[in-house]
Amino acid sequence: MTAIDHQSAIEKAQLSELQPMLVGGQLKAADGGDTLPALNPTTGSALTTFPVARKPDVDEAVAAARKALAEGPWWKDWGPHKRAKCLRKLAELCRDRSRELSRIESLDVGMPRGFATKFSVAALVRNLEYYASWADKLYGSTIPQTSTNSLDYTRLEPYGVIASIISWNTPLLFVGSKLGPALATGNAVILKPSELACLGPLRVAELVQEAGIPDGIVQVLTGDGETGRLLVEHEGVDKVSFTGGRETARKVQVAAAKCLKPVLFELGGKSPNIVFDDADLGRATMMSTLGIFGLTGQACAAGSRLLVHRSVHDQLLGGIAAFAQGLQVGDPMDPATMLGPLISGQHKDRVQSFIDNGEPQGASLHLKAELRDGLADGTNFLGPHIFTGVAPGMTLWDDEVFGPVLSVTPFDSDEEALRLANQTQYGLAAGVWTEKLSRAHKMAAGLEAGVVWINNYGTLPNNVPFGGFKQSGWGKEGGRDALMEYTRVKNVLVDLS
Ligand code: NDP
Protein backbone atom coordinates (compact mmCIF):
# COMPACT_ATOMS: atom_id res chain seq x y z
CA MET A 1 0.00 0.00 0.00
CA THR A 2 1.24 3.50 -0.75
CA ALA A 3 0.83 6.67 1.22
CA ILE A 4 -1.49 7.84 -1.56
CA ASP A 5 -5.18 8.21 -0.89
CA HIS A 6 -7.26 9.20 -3.87
CA GLN A 7 -10.52 7.89 -2.47
CA SER A 8 -12.53 10.84 -3.75
CA ALA A 9 -11.45 10.12 -7.35
CA ILE A 10 -12.46 6.49 -6.87
CA GLU A 11 -15.87 7.52 -5.55
CA LYS A 12 -16.37 9.96 -8.42
CA ALA A 13 -15.56 7.20 -10.93
CA GLN A 14 -18.77 5.46 -9.79
CA LEU A 15 -17.57 1.95 -10.35
CA SER A 16 -20.08 -0.68 -9.37
CA GLU A 17 -19.07 -3.91 -7.67
CA LEU A 18 -19.03 -5.68 -11.02
CA GLN A 19 -18.50 -3.75 -14.25
CA PRO A 20 -20.53 -5.63 -16.85
CA MET A 21 -19.32 -6.36 -20.37
CA LEU A 22 -21.26 -5.71 -23.58
CA VAL A 23 -22.47 -8.77 -25.49
CA GLY A 24 -25.08 -8.63 -28.25
CA GLY A 25 -26.48 -5.33 -26.98
CA GLN A 26 -26.70 -6.45 -23.33
CA LEU A 27 -24.55 -5.23 -20.45
CA LYS A 28 -23.95 -8.45 -18.57
CA ALA A 29 -21.82 -10.71 -16.41
CA ALA A 30 -19.97 -13.71 -17.82
CA ASP A 31 -22.00 -16.85 -18.41
CA GLY A 32 -20.16 -18.81 -15.73
CA GLY A 33 -20.04 -15.84 -13.33
CA ASP A 34 -16.22 -15.76 -13.26
CA THR A 35 -14.67 -12.43 -12.30
CA LEU A 36 -11.27 -10.85 -11.76
CA PRO A 37 -10.37 -7.83 -9.64
CA ALA A 38 -9.43 -4.58 -11.40
CA LEU A 39 -6.40 -3.52 -9.36
CA ASN A 40 -5.49 0.09 -8.82
CA PRO A 41 -1.78 0.22 -9.76
CA THR A 42 -1.27 3.23 -7.50
CA THR A 43 -2.45 1.64 -4.25
CA GLY A 44 -2.60 -2.07 -5.03
CA SER A 45 -6.26 -2.28 -3.91
CA ALA A 46 -9.14 -3.53 -6.01
CA LEU A 47 -11.19 -0.81 -7.72
CA THR A 48 -13.95 -3.21 -8.72
CA THR A 49 -14.32 -6.57 -10.46
CA PHE A 50 -14.97 -7.40 -14.10
CA PRO A 51 -16.29 -10.50 -15.89
CA VAL A 52 -14.04 -13.17 -17.31
CA ALA A 53 -15.47 -14.27 -20.65
CA ARG A 54 -15.07 -17.99 -21.33
CA LYS A 55 -16.03 -20.10 -24.34
CA PRO A 56 -19.83 -19.69 -24.04
CA ASP A 57 -19.43 -15.89 -23.86
CA VAL A 58 -17.03 -15.82 -26.79
CA ASP A 59 -19.39 -18.05 -28.82
CA GLU A 60 -22.31 -15.79 -27.94
CA ALA A 61 -20.45 -12.62 -28.92
CA VAL A 62 -19.23 -14.05 -32.22
CA ALA A 63 -22.74 -15.31 -33.04
CA ALA A 64 -24.20 -11.88 -32.20
CA ALA A 65 -21.66 -10.14 -34.43
CA ARG A 66 -22.30 -12.50 -37.35
CA LYS A 67 -26.04 -12.09 -36.96
CA ALA A 68 -25.73 -8.31 -36.82
CA LEU A 69 -23.75 -8.31 -40.06
CA ALA A 70 -25.92 -10.87 -41.86
CA GLU A 71 -29.35 -9.69 -40.74
CA GLY A 72 -28.91 -6.21 -39.31
CA PRO A 73 -28.72 -2.92 -41.23
CA TRP A 74 -25.11 -1.98 -40.45
CA TRP A 75 -23.44 -3.25 -43.58
CA LYS A 76 -26.34 -4.58 -45.69
CA ASP A 77 -28.83 -1.73 -45.65
CA TRP A 78 -27.25 1.35 -44.18
CA GLY A 79 -25.16 3.63 -46.32
CA PRO A 80 -21.86 4.93 -45.00
CA HIS A 81 -23.54 8.17 -43.89
CA LYS A 82 -25.47 6.37 -41.21
CA ARG A 83 -22.43 4.53 -39.95
CA ALA A 84 -20.61 7.87 -39.84
CA LYS A 85 -23.47 9.36 -37.84
CA CYS A 86 -23.15 6.62 -35.21
CA LEU A 87 -19.39 7.12 -34.97
CA ARG A 88 -19.85 10.88 -34.58
CA LYS A 89 -22.46 10.34 -31.90
CA LEU A 90 -20.17 7.96 -30.02
CA ALA A 91 -17.38 10.56 -30.26
CA GLU A 92 -19.74 13.23 -28.91
CA LEU A 93 -20.81 11.02 -26.00
CA CYS A 94 -17.19 10.29 -25.15
CA ARG A 95 -16.30 13.98 -25.36
CA ASP A 96 -19.19 14.86 -23.04
CA ARG A 97 -17.82 12.33 -20.57
CA SER A 98 -14.15 13.09 -21.03
CA ARG A 99 -13.66 14.07 -17.37
CA GLU A 100 -15.18 10.80 -16.23
CA LEU A 101 -13.32 8.74 -18.83
CA SER A 102 -9.96 10.34 -18.03
CA ARG A 103 -10.53 9.75 -14.32
CA ILE A 104 -11.19 6.06 -14.97
CA GLU A 105 -8.21 5.73 -17.33
CA SER A 106 -6.00 7.41 -14.76
CA LEU A 107 -7.15 5.17 -11.91
CA ASP A 108 -7.06 1.99 -13.96
CA VAL A 109 -3.71 2.48 -15.71
CA GLY A 110 -1.97 4.75 -13.18
CA MET A 111 -1.62 7.31 -15.97
CA PRO A 112 -1.25 10.97 -14.86
CA ARG A 113 -4.65 12.59 -15.19
CA GLY A 114 -3.42 15.27 -17.61
CA PHE A 115 -2.04 12.58 -19.96
CA ALA A 116 -5.27 10.65 -19.69
CA THR A 117 -7.25 13.72 -20.75
CA LYS A 118 -4.96 15.18 -23.39
CA PHE A 119 -3.56 11.95 -24.81
CA SER A 120 -5.79 8.91 -24.27
CA VAL A 121 -9.30 10.39 -24.18
CA ALA A 122 -8.50 13.13 -26.73
CA ALA A 123 -7.19 10.46 -29.12
CA LEU A 124 -10.30 8.33 -28.55
CA VAL A 125 -12.58 11.19 -29.57
CA ARG A 126 -10.37 12.37 -32.45
CA ASN A 127 -10.10 8.88 -33.92
CA LEU A 128 -13.86 8.28 -33.83
CA GLU A 129 -14.49 11.66 -35.50
CA TYR A 130 -11.71 11.28 -38.03
CA TYR A 131 -12.88 7.85 -39.20
CA ALA A 132 -16.51 8.98 -39.22
CA SER A 133 -15.44 11.50 -41.87
CA TRP A 134 -13.85 8.75 -43.96
CA ALA A 135 -16.91 6.47 -44.06
CA ASP A 136 -18.44 8.03 -47.21
CA LYS A 137 -15.14 8.81 -48.91
CA LEU A 138 -13.98 5.30 -49.63
CA TYR A 139 -14.73 3.73 -52.97
CA GLY A 140 -13.35 1.31 -55.49
CA SER A 141 -12.30 2.04 -59.05
CA THR A 142 -13.41 1.35 -62.60
CA ILE A 143 -10.71 -0.43 -64.57
CA PRO A 144 -10.74 0.06 -68.37
CA GLN A 145 -10.86 -3.16 -70.41
CA THR A 146 -9.84 -3.76 -74.04
CA SER A 147 -13.34 -4.77 -75.03
CA THR A 148 -16.09 -2.16 -74.82
CA ASN A 149 -18.34 -5.07 -73.90
CA SER A 150 -16.60 -5.45 -70.56
CA LEU A 151 -17.14 -3.42 -67.44
CA ASP A 152 -14.74 -3.97 -64.58
CA TYR A 153 -14.91 -2.33 -61.19
CA THR A 154 -13.77 -2.92 -57.62
CA ARG A 155 -15.70 -2.79 -54.38
CA LEU A 156 -14.21 -2.17 -50.94
CA GLU A 157 -15.89 -4.57 -48.54
CA PRO A 158 -15.45 -5.14 -44.81
CA TYR A 159 -13.78 -8.31 -43.54
CA GLY A 160 -16.71 -9.04 -41.26
CA VAL A 161 -16.03 -9.80 -37.60
CA ILE A 162 -12.85 -8.26 -36.20
CA ALA A 163 -11.39 -9.37 -32.87
CA SER A 164 -9.50 -6.35 -31.52
CA ILE A 165 -7.18 -7.40 -28.70
CA ILE A 166 -5.43 -4.57 -26.92
CA SER A 167 -2.74 -3.96 -24.31
CA TRP A 168 -3.15 -2.06 -21.05
CA ASN A 169 -1.00 1.03 -21.47
CA THR A 170 -3.44 3.41 -23.22
CA PRO A 171 -6.73 1.47 -23.49
CA LEU A 172 -8.99 4.38 -24.37
CA LEU A 173 -6.70 5.52 -27.15
CA PHE A 174 -6.87 1.98 -28.55
CA VAL A 175 -10.67 1.93 -28.38
CA GLY A 176 -10.67 4.86 -30.84
CA SER A 177 -7.91 3.55 -33.08
CA LYS A 178 -9.46 0.06 -33.29
CA LEU A 179 -13.16 0.95 -33.51
CA GLY A 180 -12.82 4.00 -35.77
CA PRO A 181 -11.47 2.45 -39.00
CA ALA A 182 -13.14 -0.95 -38.49
CA LEU A 183 -16.62 0.53 -38.02
CA ALA A 184 -16.26 3.20 -40.71
CA THR A 185 -15.62 0.41 -43.22
CA GLY A 186 -18.62 -1.65 -42.09
CA ASN A 187 -17.13 -4.35 -39.85
CA ALA A 188 -18.36 -5.60 -36.49
CA VAL A 189 -15.82 -5.45 -33.65
CA ILE A 190 -15.35 -7.59 -30.57
CA LEU A 191 -12.94 -5.67 -28.37
CA LYS A 192 -10.90 -7.57 -25.77
CA PRO A 193 -9.05 -5.23 -23.41
CA SER A 194 -6.28 -6.40 -21.11
CA GLU A 195 -7.12 -7.84 -17.71
CA LEU A 196 -4.71 -5.23 -16.31
CA ALA A 197 -6.76 -2.24 -17.53
CA CYS A 198 -10.24 -2.69 -18.96
CA LEU A 199 -12.41 -0.19 -17.09
CA GLY A 200 -12.20 2.63 -19.66
CA PRO A 201 -13.32 0.37 -22.54
CA LEU A 202 -16.15 -0.96 -20.35
CA ARG A 203 -17.37 2.59 -19.68
CA VAL A 204 -17.34 3.33 -23.44
CA ALA A 205 -19.32 0.10 -23.94
CA GLU A 206 -22.13 1.67 -21.92
CA LEU A 207 -22.40 4.43 -24.56
CA VAL A 208 -22.57 2.22 -27.63
CA GLN A 209 -26.34 1.78 -27.71
CA GLU A 210 -26.99 5.47 -27.10
CA ALA A 211 -24.81 6.18 -30.14
CA GLY A 212 -27.30 4.21 -32.25
CA ILE A 213 -24.88 1.39 -33.09
CA PRO A 214 -26.92 -1.77 -33.72
CA ASP A 215 -26.66 -4.66 -31.23
CA GLY A 216 -23.75 -6.98 -31.93
CA ILE A 217 -21.74 -4.48 -34.00
CA VAL A 218 -19.60 -3.35 -31.06
CA GLN A 219 -19.04 -5.76 -28.19
CA VAL A 220 -16.59 -5.62 -25.33
CA LEU A 221 -15.49 -8.93 -23.82
CA THR A 222 -13.31 -8.75 -20.73
CA GLY A 223 -11.21 -11.59 -19.41
CA ASP A 224 -7.64 -12.77 -19.58
CA GLY A 225 -5.23 -14.13 -22.15
CA GLU A 226 -7.39 -17.23 -22.54
CA THR A 227 -10.32 -15.03 -23.65
CA GLY A 228 -8.01 -13.53 -26.28
CA ARG A 229 -6.92 -16.99 -27.41
CA LEU A 230 -10.52 -18.17 -27.76
CA LEU A 231 -11.30 -15.17 -29.94
CA VAL A 232 -8.27 -15.63 -32.17
CA GLU A 233 -9.06 -19.33 -32.69
CA HIS A 234 -12.78 -18.80 -33.30
CA GLU A 235 -13.79 -19.69 -36.84
CA GLY A 236 -16.43 -16.96 -36.81
CA VAL A 237 -13.79 -14.24 -36.42
CA ASP A 238 -12.56 -12.99 -39.80
CA LYS A 239 -9.55 -10.91 -38.81
CA VAL A 240 -7.52 -10.19 -35.67
CA SER A 241 -6.24 -6.73 -34.85
CA PHE A 242 -3.71 -7.19 -32.06
CA THR A 243 -1.79 -4.66 -29.97
CA GLY A 244 0.61 -6.20 -27.49
CA GLY A 245 3.98 -7.82 -27.00
CA ARG A 246 5.80 -9.94 -29.56
CA GLU A 247 5.80 -13.10 -27.39
CA THR A 248 1.99 -13.05 -27.32
CA ALA A 249 1.94 -12.07 -31.00
CA ARG A 250 3.80 -15.30 -31.83
CA LYS A 251 1.05 -17.31 -30.11
CA VAL A 252 -1.61 -15.27 -31.90
CA GLN A 253 0.06 -15.91 -35.24
CA VAL A 254 0.21 -19.66 -34.64
CA ALA A 255 -3.44 -19.76 -33.51
CA ALA A 256 -4.58 -17.61 -36.44
CA ALA A 257 -2.67 -19.83 -38.86
CA LYS A 258 -4.99 -22.75 -38.05
CA CYS A 259 -7.67 -21.14 -40.20
CA LEU A 260 -5.34 -18.82 -42.16
CA LYS A 261 -6.82 -15.78 -40.50
CA PRO A 262 -5.26 -12.41 -41.36
CA VAL A 263 -3.67 -10.50 -38.50
CA LEU A 264 -2.78 -6.86 -37.93
CA PHE A 265 0.05 -6.58 -35.42
CA GLU A 266 1.00 -3.46 -33.45
CA LEU A 267 3.87 -4.65 -31.27
CA GLY A 268 6.71 -3.38 -29.14
CA GLY A 269 9.80 -1.38 -29.91
CA LYS A 270 13.36 -0.56 -28.92
CA SER A 271 13.36 2.77 -30.66
CA PRO A 272 16.58 4.72 -31.31
CA ASN A 273 16.60 8.46 -30.70
CA ILE A 274 19.66 9.91 -32.44
CA VAL A 275 21.11 13.27 -31.45
CA PHE A 276 23.79 14.79 -33.70
CA ASP A 277 26.32 17.45 -32.71
CA ASP A 278 24.47 20.15 -34.69
CA ALA A 279 21.12 19.56 -32.96
CA ASP A 280 19.15 22.10 -30.96
CA LEU A 281 20.27 20.53 -27.69
CA GLY A 282 17.75 22.37 -25.53
CA ARG A 283 14.80 20.96 -27.40
CA ALA A 284 16.44 17.57 -27.85
CA THR A 285 16.98 17.39 -24.08
CA MET A 286 13.36 18.09 -23.25
CA MET A 287 11.77 15.87 -25.89
CA SER A 288 14.21 12.99 -25.40
CA THR A 289 13.49 13.01 -21.65
CA LEU A 290 9.73 13.01 -22.13
CA GLY A 291 10.09 10.57 -25.04
CA ILE A 292 11.34 7.87 -22.67
CA PHE A 293 9.96 8.77 -19.25
CA GLY A 294 6.45 9.87 -20.32
CA LEU A 295 3.87 7.22 -19.34
CA THR A 296 6.63 5.91 -17.01
CA GLY A 297 8.30 4.39 -20.05
CA GLN A 298 5.27 2.20 -20.73
CA ALA A 299 4.91 3.38 -24.33
CA CYS A 300 5.46 1.21 -27.39
CA ALA A 301 7.33 3.98 -29.22
CA ALA A 302 9.38 5.13 -26.21
CA GLY A 303 12.80 6.45 -27.27
CA SER A 304 14.60 3.89 -25.13
CA ARG A 305 17.97 3.90 -26.93
CA LEU A 306 19.53 7.35 -27.00
CA LEU A 307 22.38 7.49 -29.51
CA VAL A 308 24.44 10.64 -29.04
CA HIS A 309 27.35 12.12 -30.99
CA ARG A 310 30.36 11.76 -28.72
CA SER A 311 31.14 15.50 -28.81
CA VAL A 312 27.81 16.40 -27.15
CA HIS A 313 27.35 13.17 -25.13
CA ASP A 314 28.20 14.57 -21.69
CA GLN A 315 26.31 17.83 -22.20
CA LEU A 316 23.13 16.12 -23.36
CA LEU A 317 23.36 13.43 -20.70
CA GLY A 318 23.74 16.06 -17.99
CA GLY A 319 20.69 17.93 -19.25
CA ILE A 320 18.52 14.83 -19.52
CA ALA A 321 19.56 13.53 -16.09
CA ALA A 322 18.79 16.92 -14.46
CA PHE A 323 15.41 17.14 -16.21
CA ALA A 324 14.52 13.53 -15.38
CA GLN A 325 15.41 13.98 -11.73
CA GLY A 326 12.97 16.88 -11.52
CA LEU A 327 10.01 14.89 -12.89
CA GLN A 328 7.52 14.25 -10.11
CA VAL A 329 6.75 10.60 -9.47
CA GLY A 330 3.54 9.94 -7.55
CA ASP A 331 -0.23 10.05 -7.45
CA PRO A 332 -1.56 10.14 -11.02
CA MET A 333 -4.42 12.32 -9.76
CA ASP A 334 -1.97 15.05 -8.69
CA PRO A 335 -1.67 17.58 -11.57
CA ALA A 336 2.09 17.93 -10.90
CA THR A 337 2.77 14.22 -11.39
CA MET A 338 4.67 13.26 -14.52
CA LEU A 339 5.31 9.58 -13.73
CA GLY A 340 2.59 7.41 -12.24
CA PRO A 341 3.17 3.82 -11.07
CA LEU A 342 3.99 0.88 -13.29
CA ILE A 343 0.94 -1.21 -14.11
CA SER A 344 1.60 -4.08 -11.65
CA GLY A 345 4.02 -5.53 -9.14
CA GLN A 346 4.91 -8.27 -11.60
CA HIS A 347 5.77 -5.71 -14.28
CA LYS A 348 7.84 -3.68 -11.79
CA ASP A 349 9.84 -6.81 -10.92
CA ARG A 350 10.45 -7.39 -14.63
CA VAL A 351 11.68 -3.80 -15.15
CA GLN A 352 13.81 -4.04 -12.00
CA SER A 353 15.50 -7.18 -13.33
CA PHE A 354 16.62 -5.22 -16.42
CA ILE A 355 18.02 -2.55 -14.09
CA ASP A 356 19.76 -5.15 -11.91
CA ASN A 357 21.38 -6.79 -14.93
CA GLY A 358 22.62 -3.50 -16.43
CA GLU A 359 25.94 -3.14 -14.59
CA PRO A 360 26.86 -6.87 -14.51
CA GLN A 361 26.53 -6.81 -18.30
CA GLY A 362 28.91 -3.83 -18.62
CA ALA A 363 26.68 -0.71 -18.66
CA SER A 364 27.07 2.09 -16.08
CA LEU A 365 24.17 3.30 -14.00
CA HIS A 366 24.28 7.09 -14.41
CA LEU A 367 20.98 8.02 -12.75
CA LYS A 368 18.71 6.30 -10.30
CA ALA A 369 16.10 8.86 -9.29
CA GLU A 370 15.16 8.35 -5.66
CA LEU A 371 11.49 8.19 -4.70
CA ARG A 372 10.03 10.26 -1.91
CA ASP A 373 9.01 8.57 1.35
CA GLY A 374 6.09 6.18 1.15
CA LEU A 375 6.54 5.49 -2.54
CA ALA A 376 9.59 3.27 -2.51
CA ASP A 377 8.83 -0.06 -0.87
CA GLY A 378 6.11 -2.51 -1.74
CA THR A 379 4.61 -0.26 -4.42
CA ASN A 380 4.58 -0.20 -8.20
CA PHE A 381 6.47 3.12 -8.39
CA LEU A 382 9.87 3.40 -10.04
CA GLY A 383 11.74 6.63 -10.85
CA PRO A 384 13.77 7.40 -13.98
CA HIS A 385 16.95 5.37 -14.53
CA ILE A 386 19.69 6.14 -17.05
CA PHE A 387 22.43 3.75 -18.15
CA THR A 388 25.45 4.80 -20.21
CA GLY A 389 27.78 2.69 -22.30
CA VAL A 390 24.97 0.39 -23.41
CA ALA A 391 26.04 -1.78 -26.34
CA PRO A 392 24.54 -4.42 -28.65
CA GLY A 393 24.29 -7.80 -26.95
CA MET A 394 23.27 -6.36 -23.57
CA THR A 395 19.65 -7.02 -22.62
CA LEU A 396 19.20 -3.27 -22.14
CA TRP A 397 19.99 -2.88 -25.82
CA ASP A 398 18.19 -5.91 -27.19
CA ASP A 399 14.96 -6.20 -25.19
CA GLU A 400 11.99 -3.91 -24.69
CA VAL A 401 11.98 -2.84 -21.02
CA PHE A 402 8.63 -0.98 -21.10
CA GLY A 403 9.63 1.04 -18.06
CA PRO A 404 11.47 4.27 -17.10
CA VAL A 405 14.92 3.15 -18.21
CA LEU A 406 17.00 5.02 -20.78
CA SER A 407 20.05 3.46 -22.44
CA VAL A 408 22.67 5.87 -23.78
CA THR A 409 25.35 5.06 -26.38
CA PRO A 410 27.85 7.41 -28.05
CA PHE A 411 28.66 7.39 -31.78
CA ASP A 412 31.30 9.11 -33.91
CA SER A 413 29.89 9.22 -37.45
CA ASP A 414 26.59 9.25 -39.33
CA GLU A 415 27.29 5.75 -40.64
CA GLU A 416 27.88 4.42 -37.15
CA ALA A 417 24.70 6.10 -35.86
CA LEU A 418 22.62 4.46 -38.59
CA ARG A 419 24.21 1.06 -38.09
CA LEU A 420 23.62 1.17 -34.33
CA ALA A 421 20.06 2.46 -34.76
CA ASN A 422 19.15 -0.44 -37.03
CA GLN A 423 20.93 -3.05 -34.89
CA THR A 424 17.72 -4.36 -33.34
CA GLN A 425 14.98 -6.84 -34.18
CA TYR A 426 12.43 -4.12 -33.59
CA GLY A 427 11.50 -1.31 -35.99
CA LEU A 428 8.69 0.74 -34.56
CA ALA A 429 9.94 4.33 -34.37
CA ALA A 430 13.07 6.50 -34.44
CA GLY A 431 14.03 10.10 -33.70
CA VAL A 432 16.67 12.22 -35.46
CA TRP A 433 17.95 15.53 -34.09
CA THR A 434 19.96 17.64 -36.52
CA GLU A 435 19.78 21.07 -38.16
CA LYS A 436 21.30 19.66 -41.37
CA LEU A 437 18.57 18.98 -43.92
CA SER A 438 20.48 16.44 -46.03
CA ARG A 439 21.55 14.45 -42.96
CA ALA A 440 17.96 14.40 -41.65
CA HIS A 441 16.54 13.01 -44.90
CA LYS A 442 19.35 10.50 -45.39
CA MET A 443 18.77 9.18 -41.88
CA ALA A 444 15.00 9.04 -42.48
CA ALA A 445 15.60 6.96 -45.61
CA GLY A 446 18.07 4.62 -43.92
CA LEU A 447 16.25 3.96 -40.67
CA GLU A 448 14.42 0.63 -40.46
CA ALA A 449 11.40 1.96 -38.60
CA GLY A 450 7.76 2.61 -39.45
CA VAL A 451 7.80 6.10 -37.94
CA VAL A 452 10.62 8.67 -38.04
CA TRP A 453 10.49 11.90 -36.09
CA ILE A 454 12.88 14.66 -37.10
CA ASN A 455 13.62 17.32 -34.46
CA ASN A 456 10.70 15.95 -32.51
CA TYR A 457 9.88 12.80 -30.58
CA GLY A 458 6.59 11.04 -29.95
CA THR A 459 4.07 13.34 -31.66
CA LEU A 460 1.23 11.18 -32.96
CA PRO A 461 -1.36 12.93 -35.13
CA ASN A 462 -4.25 10.54 -35.75
CA ASN A 463 -4.33 11.23 -39.51
CA VAL A 464 -0.91 9.71 -40.24
CA PRO A 465 0.01 6.02 -40.47
CA PHE A 466 1.51 4.39 -37.39
CA GLY A 467 2.94 0.90 -37.31
CA GLY A 468 6.21 -0.95 -37.13
CA PHE A 469 8.72 -2.63 -39.41
CA LYS A 470 10.51 -5.90 -38.58
CA GLN A 471 9.29 -7.48 -35.31
CA SER A 472 7.37 -4.34 -34.30
CA GLY A 473 4.35 -5.16 -36.39
CA TRP A 474 2.50 -5.74 -39.62
CA GLY A 475 0.10 -3.17 -40.98
CA LYS A 476 -0.85 0.32 -39.94
CA GLU A 477 -3.11 2.14 -37.59
CA GLY A 478 -3.91 5.82 -38.04
CA GLY A 479 -4.65 7.80 -41.17
CA ARG A 480 -6.01 6.45 -44.42
CA ASP A 481 -3.79 3.37 -44.27
CA ALA A 482 -5.72 1.95 -41.31
CA LEU A 483 -8.90 1.84 -43.39
CA MET A 484 -7.21 -0.47 -45.86
CA GLU A 485 -6.48 -2.91 -43.00
CA TYR A 486 -10.20 -3.37 -42.50
CA THR A 487 -11.35 -3.64 -46.13
CA ARG A 488 -11.07 -6.32 -48.77
CA VAL A 489 -10.98 -5.46 -52.46
CA LYS A 490 -13.49 -7.35 -54.59
CA ASN A 491 -13.16 -7.19 -58.36
CA VAL A 492 -16.33 -7.39 -60.46
CA LEU A 493 -16.11 -8.12 -64.19
CA VAL A 494 -19.32 -7.70 -66.19
CA ASP A 495 -19.85 -9.00 -69.70
CA LEU A 496 -22.06 -6.40 -71.37
CA SER A 497 -22.44 -8.17 -74.73
P1 NDP B 1 0.55 -8.72 -24.06
O2 NDP B 1 1.08 -9.26 -25.33
O3 NDP B 1 0.88 -9.39 -22.79
O4 NDP B 1 -1.06 -8.63 -24.10
C5 NDP B 1 -1.74 -7.97 -25.15
C6 NDP B 1 -3.18 -8.48 -25.19
O7 NDP B 1 -3.19 -9.85 -25.59
C8 NDP B 1 -3.89 -8.45 -23.84
O9 NDP B 1 -5.25 -8.11 -24.02
C10 NDP B 1 -3.75 -9.89 -23.37
O11 NDP B 1 -4.74 -10.26 -22.44
C12 NDP B 1 -3.95 -10.62 -24.68
N13 NDP B 1 -3.46 -12.00 -24.71
C14 NDP B 1 -2.63 -12.63 -23.85
N15 NDP B 1 -2.40 -13.89 -24.26
C16 NDP B 1 -3.10 -14.07 -25.40
C17 NDP B 1 -3.27 -15.16 -26.32
N18 NDP B 1 -2.64 -16.31 -26.15
N19 NDP B 1 -4.06 -14.97 -27.39
C20 NDP B 1 -4.68 -13.79 -27.61
N21 NDP B 1 -4.56 -12.74 -26.78
C22 NDP B 1 -3.78 -12.86 -25.69
O23 NDP B 1 1.02 -7.21 -24.04
P24 NDP B 1 0.84 -6.13 -22.90
O25 NDP B 1 -0.61 -5.94 -22.65
O26 NDP B 1 1.73 -6.45 -21.76
O27 NDP B 1 1.33 -4.81 -23.66
C28 NDP B 1 2.65 -4.42 -23.72
C29 NDP B 1 3.17 -4.63 -25.12
O30 NDP B 1 2.31 -4.00 -26.07
C31 NDP B 1 4.52 -3.98 -25.30
O32 NDP B 1 5.35 -4.83 -26.04
C33 NDP B 1 4.19 -2.73 -26.09
O34 NDP B 1 5.27 -2.21 -26.81
C35 NDP B 1 3.08 -3.21 -26.96
N36 NDP B 1 2.31 -2.10 -27.49
C37 NDP B 1 2.36 -1.82 -28.84
C38 NDP B 1 1.71 -0.71 -29.35
C39 NDP B 1 1.76 -0.36 -30.81
O40 NDP B 1 0.89 0.38 -31.27
N41 NDP B 1 2.73 -0.83 -31.57
C42 NDP B 1 0.96 0.18 -28.48
C43 NDP B 1 0.98 -0.21 -27.09
C44 NDP B 1 1.62 -1.31 -26.63
P45 NDP B 1 -4.47 -10.15 -20.86
O46 NDP B 1 -3.72 -8.86 -20.63
O47 NDP B 1 -5.83 -10.12 -20.29
O48 NDP B 1 -3.64 -11.34 -20.51
* Per-residue pLDDT tens over the stretch 84-136: 999 999 999 999 999 999 999 999 999 999 999 999 999 999 999 999 999 99
Do 256 and 304 share a structural domain? no
Q: What is the dihedral of CA 375, 381, 383, 387, to 10 degrees?
A: 130
**pTM summary value:** 0.97
Question: How many whole angstroms from 472 Cα to the centroid of ligand 1?
Answer: 12
Residue 105 CB less than 6 A away from ligand 1: no
Do 449 and 310 share a structural domain? yes
Instruction: Determine whether 94 is an active site residue.
Output: no
Burial track 3-16 (b if 16+ CB lie within 10 A, e otherwise): ebebeebbeebebe
Question: How many whole angstroms from 495 Cα to the centroid of ligand 1?
Answer: 48
**Residue 6 confidence (pLDDT):** 84
- Among protein residues, the one with the nearest Cα to ligand 1's atom 48 is 225
Do 60 and 23 share a structural domain? yes
Do 288 and 207 share a structural domain? no
- Among protein residues, the one with the nearest Cα to ligand 1's atom 8 is 194
Do 231 and 101 share a structural domain? yes
Residue 229 CB less than 6 A away from ligand 1: yes
Residue 81: burial class (beta carbons within 10 Å; 0-12, 13-18, 19+): exposed
446 belongs to a structural domain: yes
Q: Which of 195, 233, 266, 477 is catalytic?
A: 266
Residue 234 CB less than 6 A away from ligand 1: no
Q: What is the CATH number of the domain that holds 13?
A: 3.40.605.10
Q: What is the CATH number of the domain that holds 328?
A: 3.40.309.10
Question: How many whole angstroms from 108 Cα to the centroid of ligand 1?
Answer: 16
Summarised one tens digit per residue, pLDDT across range 384-420 is: 999 999 999 999 999 999 999 999 999 999 999 999 9
Do 367 and 242 share a structural domain? no
39 belongs to a structural domain: yes
CA 348 to chain centre: 19
Do 118 and 23 share a structural domain? yes
The candidate with the shortest Cα–Cα distance to 478, out of 306, 290, 301, 219, is 301
- Among protein residues, the one with the nearest Cα to ligand 1's atom 37 is 267
Residue 343 CB less than 6 A away from ligand 1: no
496 belongs to a structural domain: no
| Ligand 1 atom closest to residue 247's alpha carbon, by position in its atom list | 2
Beta strands 188-192 and 405-411, pairing class: unpaired
497 belongs to a structural domain: no
147 belongs to a structural domain: yes
Do 282 and 181 share a structural domain? no
**Beta-strand runs (E) in 359-411:** 364-368, 385-388, 405-411
What is the best residue among 224, 239, 248 to mutate for testing ligand 1's pocket, by most ligand atoms within 8 Å of CB? 248
Do 150 and 278 share a structural domain? no
| Ligand 1 atom closest to residue 192's alpha carbon, by position in its atom list | 9
C-beta atoms surrounding 416 within 10 Å: 15
- Among protein residues, the one with the nearest Cα to ligand 1's atom 13 is 225
**Residue 1 confidence (pLDDT):** 54
Instruction: Kindly list the averaged pLDDT for each block of 10 residues, start to end, along the chain of length 497.
Output: 80 94 98 97 97 98 98 91 98 98 98 97 98 97 95 97 98 98 98 98 98 98 98 98 98 96 98 98 98 98 98 98 97 96 98 98 97 86 98 98 98 98 98 98 98 97 97 97 98 97
What is the best residue among 196, 198, 243 to mutate for testing ligand 1's pocket, by most ligand atoms within 8 Å of CB? 243
Q: Which of 300, 400, 477, 485 is catalytic?
A: 300
Residue 233 CB less than 6 A away from ligand 1: no
Residue 50 CB less than 6 A away from ligand 1: no
Question: Taking a C-beta distance cutoff of 8 angstroms, is the pair 222, 202 a contact?
Answer: yes
- Among protein residues, the one with the nearest Cα to ligand 1's atom 25 is 167
Instruction: Determine whether 400 is an active site residue.
Output: no
Do 365 and 229 share a structural domain? no
Residue type, position 207, single letter = L
Do 415 and 304 share a structural domain? yes
285 belongs to a structural domain: yes
Do 263 and 342 share a structural domain? no
Residue 169 CB less than 6 A away from ligand 1: yes
Question: How many whole angstroms from 23 Cα to the centroid of ligand 1?
Answer: 22
Please give the residue range of the domain that contains residue 415: 272-465
410 belongs to a structural domain: yes
What is the best residue among 39, 167, 402 to mutate for testing ligand 1's pocket, by most ligand atoms within 8 Å of CB? 167
Question: Taking a C-beta distance cutoff of 8 angstroms, is the pair 277, 243 a contact?
Answer: no
Residue type, position 389, single letter = G
Q: How many domains does the chain have?
A: 2
Residue 400 CB less than 6 A away from ligand 1: yes
Question: How many whole angstroms from 228 Cα to the centroid of ligand 1?
Answer: 10
282 belongs to a structural domain: yes
The candidate with the shortest Cα–Cα distance to 375, out of 110, 20, 142, 194, is 110
Residue 243 parent element (H or E): strand 239-243
Question: How many whole angstroms from 49 Cα to the centroid of ligand 1?
Answer: 20
